[in-house]
A and B are shown apart, each in its own frame.
Chain A
Amino acid sequence: SAVISQKPSRDICQRGTSLTIQCQVDSQVTMMFWYRQQPGQSLTLIATANQGSEATYESGFVIDKFPISRPNLTFSTLTVSNMSPEDSSIYLCSASGARETQYFGPGTRLLVL
Protein backbone atom coordinates (compact mmCIF):
# COMPACT_ATOMS: atom_id res chain seq x y z
CA SER A 1 0.00 0.00 0.00
CA ALA A 2 1.07 3.58 -0.62
CA VAL A 3 2.18 5.86 2.21
CA ILE A 4 0.67 9.30 1.85
CA SER A 5 1.50 12.51 3.67
CA GLN A 6 -0.37 15.80 3.67
CA LYS A 7 0.62 19.30 4.64
CA PRO A 8 -0.59 21.18 6.59
CA SER A 9 -2.29 18.82 9.01
CA ARG A 10 -4.54 21.63 10.20
CA ASP A 11 -4.99 25.33 9.72
CA ILE A 12 -7.17 28.21 10.81
CA CYS A 13 -7.77 30.76 8.08
CA GLN A 14 -9.59 34.03 7.62
CA ARG A 15 -12.47 34.28 5.18
CA GLY A 16 -11.51 35.51 1.75
CA THR A 17 -8.04 33.96 1.85
CA SER A 18 -6.78 30.83 0.10
CA LEU A 19 -5.03 27.72 1.38
CA THR A 20 -3.00 25.22 -0.60
CA ILE A 21 -2.84 21.65 0.66
CA GLN A 22 -0.03 19.38 -0.45
CA CYS A 23 -0.21 15.63 -0.89
CA GLN A 24 2.89 13.47 -1.31
CA VAL A 25 2.89 9.74 -2.10
CA ASP A 26 5.91 7.53 -1.46
CA SER A 27 5.61 5.79 -4.83
CA GLN A 28 4.39 6.58 -8.30
CA VAL A 29 0.63 6.17 -8.62
CA THR A 30 -1.69 6.44 -11.57
CA MET A 31 -4.60 8.17 -9.90
CA MET A 32 -4.87 10.69 -7.09
CA PHE A 33 -8.10 12.04 -5.67
CA TRP A 34 -9.25 14.83 -3.38
CA TYR A 35 -12.16 14.40 -0.98
CA ARG A 36 -13.95 16.57 1.52
CA GLN A 37 -15.46 15.25 4.73
CA GLN A 38 -17.81 17.45 6.70
CA PRO A 39 -18.15 16.73 10.43
CA GLY A 40 -20.15 13.56 11.01
CA GLN A 41 -20.52 12.95 7.28
CA SER A 42 -19.11 10.54 4.75
CA LEU A 43 -16.56 11.37 2.09
CA THR A 44 -17.46 13.49 -0.92
CA LEU A 45 -15.20 13.37 -3.94
CA ILE A 46 -14.09 16.81 -5.10
CA ALA A 47 -12.01 15.85 -8.11
CA THR A 48 -9.61 13.43 -9.73
CA ALA A 49 -6.12 14.87 -10.09
CA ASN A 50 -4.80 13.94 -13.51
CA GLN A 51 -1.08 13.98 -14.17
CA GLY A 52 -0.25 16.27 -17.04
CA SER A 53 -3.79 17.51 -17.63
CA GLU A 54 -6.60 19.40 -15.95
CA ALA A 55 -8.33 17.79 -13.01
CA THR A 56 -11.76 16.20 -13.43
CA TYR A 57 -14.27 17.80 -11.09
CA GLU A 58 -17.40 16.27 -9.63
CA SER A 59 -20.77 17.95 -9.77
CA GLY A 60 -20.88 20.91 -7.43
CA PHE A 61 -17.14 21.57 -7.46
CA VAL A 62 -15.43 24.01 -9.84
CA ILE A 63 -11.87 24.74 -10.79
CA ASP A 64 -12.02 28.38 -9.78
CA LYS A 65 -12.86 27.42 -6.22
CA PHE A 66 -10.70 24.29 -5.95
CA PRO A 67 -7.78 24.50 -8.36
CA ILE A 68 -5.71 21.32 -8.41
CA SER A 69 -2.23 20.61 -9.65
CA ARG A 70 -0.61 17.26 -10.40
CA PRO A 71 2.90 17.94 -11.70
CA ASN A 72 4.10 14.34 -11.42
CA LEU A 73 3.06 10.84 -10.36
CA THR A 74 3.79 11.33 -6.65
CA PHE A 75 2.52 14.82 -5.83
CA SER A 76 -0.64 16.89 -5.97
CA THR A 77 -1.98 20.10 -4.48
CA LEU A 78 -5.49 21.31 -3.77
CA THR A 79 -6.17 25.00 -3.22
CA VAL A 80 -9.28 26.17 -1.43
CA SER A 81 -9.83 29.67 -2.79
CA ASN A 82 -11.67 32.68 -1.40
CA MET A 83 -12.62 30.72 1.67
CA SER A 84 -15.81 31.09 3.67
CA PRO A 85 -16.83 29.39 6.92
CA GLU A 86 -18.73 26.81 4.83
CA ASP A 87 -15.37 25.54 3.60
CA SER A 88 -14.47 24.41 7.11
CA SER A 89 -13.97 20.69 6.71
CA ILE A 90 -11.46 17.88 6.52
CA TYR A 91 -9.74 17.58 3.15
CA LEU A 92 -8.31 14.20 2.25
CA CYS A 93 -6.17 13.08 -0.62
CA SER A 94 -6.00 9.49 -1.76
CA ALA A 95 -3.90 7.47 -4.15
CA SER A 96 -4.92 4.48 -6.21
CA GLY A 97 -3.52 1.03 -5.63
CA ALA A 98 -4.09 -2.29 -7.30
CA ARG A 99 -7.60 -3.23 -8.39
CA GLU A 100 -9.25 0.10 -7.68
CA THR A 101 -8.20 0.28 -4.05
CA GLN A 102 -7.50 3.71 -2.61
CA TYR A 103 -5.27 4.70 0.27
CA PHE A 104 -5.79 7.90 2.19
CA GLY A 105 -3.55 10.54 3.58
CA PRO A 106 -4.00 11.73 7.17
CA GLY A 107 -6.16 14.68 6.14
CA THR A 108 -6.05 18.45 6.56
CA ARG A 109 -8.40 19.96 9.10
CA LEU A 110 -9.44 23.41 7.98
CA LEU A 111 -11.31 25.99 10.03
CA VAL A 112 -12.36 29.21 8.35
CA LEU A 113 -13.29 32.12 10.58
Chain B
Amino acid sequence: QKEVEQNSGPLSVPEGAIASLNCTYSDRGSQSFFWYRQYSGKSPELIMSIYSNGDKEDGRFTAQLNKASQYVSLLIRDSQPSDSATYLCAAPIQGAQKLVFGQGTRLTINP
Protein backbone atom coordinates (compact mmCIF):
# COMPACT_ATOMS: atom_id res chain seq x y z
CA GLN B 1 0.00 0.00 0.00
CA LYS B 2 1.31 3.41 -0.95
CA GLU B 3 1.94 5.67 2.01
CA VAL B 4 0.18 8.68 0.50
CA GLU B 5 -2.53 8.33 -2.13
CA GLN B 6 -4.45 10.93 -4.06
CA ASN B 7 -7.61 10.64 -6.11
CA SER B 8 -6.77 10.04 -9.71
CA GLY B 9 -7.08 12.96 -12.10
CA PRO B 10 -7.38 14.79 -14.20
CA LEU B 11 -9.99 16.88 -12.42
CA SER B 12 -11.88 19.49 -14.40
CA VAL B 13 -13.83 22.26 -12.63
CA PRO B 14 -15.64 25.28 -14.05
CA GLU B 15 -14.34 28.70 -13.15
CA GLY B 16 -15.89 30.04 -9.97
CA ALA B 17 -16.76 26.61 -8.59
CA ILE B 18 -15.16 24.77 -5.67
CA ALA B 19 -12.36 22.35 -6.50
CA SER B 20 -11.99 19.48 -4.04
CA LEU B 21 -8.75 17.50 -3.88
CA ASN B 22 -8.40 14.45 -1.67
CA CYS B 23 -5.56 12.52 -0.11
CA THR B 24 -5.32 9.49 2.18
CA TYR B 25 -2.31 8.31 4.14
CA SER B 26 -1.35 5.04 5.75
CA ASP B 27 0.88 6.10 8.66
CA ARG B 28 -1.35 6.77 11.67
CA GLY B 29 1.59 8.45 13.36
CA SER B 30 1.78 11.23 10.81
CA GLN B 31 1.32 14.62 12.41
CA SER B 32 1.99 17.00 9.53
CA PHE B 33 0.48 17.27 6.09
CA PHE B 34 1.31 19.49 3.18
CA TRP B 35 -0.22 20.56 -0.08
CA TYR B 36 2.05 21.66 -2.90
CA ARG B 37 1.06 23.23 -6.19
CA GLN B 38 3.16 22.53 -9.26
CA TYR B 39 2.67 24.41 -12.48
CA SER B 40 3.83 22.72 -15.66
CA GLY B 41 7.58 23.11 -16.03
CA LYS B 42 8.00 24.54 -12.53
CA SER B 43 9.00 23.15 -9.17
CA PRO B 44 6.54 22.40 -6.34
CA GLU B 45 5.39 25.36 -4.26
CA LEU B 46 4.10 24.91 -0.72
CA ILE B 47 0.59 26.33 -0.44
CA MET B 48 -0.84 24.79 2.75
CA SER B 49 0.29 22.92 5.81
CA ILE B 50 -2.01 21.42 8.43
CA TYR B 51 -1.17 19.78 11.73
CA SER B 52 -4.44 19.52 13.68
CA ASN B 53 -7.80 17.94 13.03
CA GLY B 54 -10.30 20.25 11.45
CA ASP B 55 -10.09 23.03 8.91
CA LYS B 56 -7.40 25.55 8.15
CA GLU B 57 -8.23 28.44 5.87
CA ASP B 58 -5.89 30.67 3.90
CA GLY B 59 -7.60 32.93 1.42
CA ARG B 60 -9.43 30.81 -1.12
CA PHE B 61 -7.74 27.64 0.13
CA THR B 62 -9.01 25.41 2.93
CA ALA B 63 -7.17 22.32 4.12
CA GLN B 64 -9.15 19.73 6.05
CA LEU B 65 -7.62 17.02 8.21
CA ASN B 66 -9.34 14.00 9.70
CA LYS B 67 -6.79 11.87 11.53
CA ALA B 68 -9.31 9.20 12.50
CA SER B 69 -10.10 8.57 8.85
CA GLN B 70 -6.50 9.28 7.74
CA TYR B 71 -7.78 11.76 5.24
CA VAL B 72 -6.61 15.18 4.09
CA SER B 73 -8.33 17.40 1.59
CA LEU B 74 -7.79 20.73 -0.10
CA LEU B 75 -10.67 22.92 -1.16
CA ILE B 76 -10.20 25.80 -3.56
CA ARG B 77 -13.09 28.25 -3.57
CA ASP B 78 -13.93 30.53 -6.46
CA SER B 79 -11.59 28.56 -8.72
CA GLN B 80 -9.63 30.58 -11.23
CA PRO B 81 -7.89 29.47 -14.44
CA SER B 82 -4.61 30.32 -12.68
CA ASP B 83 -5.35 27.48 -10.24
CA SER B 84 -4.85 24.99 -13.05
CA ALA B 85 -1.87 22.91 -11.93
CA THR B 86 -0.91 19.61 -10.40
CA TYR B 87 -1.54 19.44 -6.65
CA LEU B 88 0.66 17.18 -4.56
CA CYS B 89 -0.17 15.92 -1.09
CA ALA B 90 2.77 15.05 1.18
CA ALA B 91 3.36 13.69 4.65
CA PRO B 92 6.58 13.01 6.57
CA ILE B 93 7.69 9.47 7.26
CA GLN B 94 7.33 8.90 10.99
CA GLY B 95 10.58 9.49 12.79
CA ALA B 96 12.17 11.22 9.84
CA GLN B 97 11.94 14.64 8.25
CA LYS B 98 11.72 13.30 4.73
CA LEU B 99 8.41 13.64 2.91
CA VAL B 100 6.45 11.08 0.96
CA PHE B 101 4.45 12.52 -1.92
CA GLY B 102 1.25 11.32 -3.47
CA GLN B 103 1.09 10.84 -7.21
CA GLY B 104 -0.54 14.25 -7.67
CA THR B 105 -3.88 15.38 -9.04
CA ARG B 106 -3.92 17.43 -12.20
CA LEU B 107 -6.54 20.17 -11.90
CA THR B 108 -7.92 22.14 -14.82
CA ILE B 109 -10.16 25.16 -14.28
CA ASN B 110 -12.31 25.84 -17.32
CA PRO B 111 -13.22 29.46 -18.08
Contact = CB atoms under 8 A, between A and B. Distances in A.
Nearest to B88: A42
Interface string A32-53: 0100000001110100100000
User: Which bucket holds chain B's interface residue count?
Assistant: 20 to 34
A20 interface: no
- Which among A42, A48, A102 has the greatest number of chain B C-beta atoms within 10 A? A42
Contacts of B90: 102
B43 A105 contact: yes
Interface string B79-111: 000000000101010000111111110000000
A1 to B, nearest CB: 7
Given A45-B99, A104-B45, 7 more contacts: A41-B103, A42-B104, A99-B51, A100-B34, A100-B99, A102-B90, A104-B44
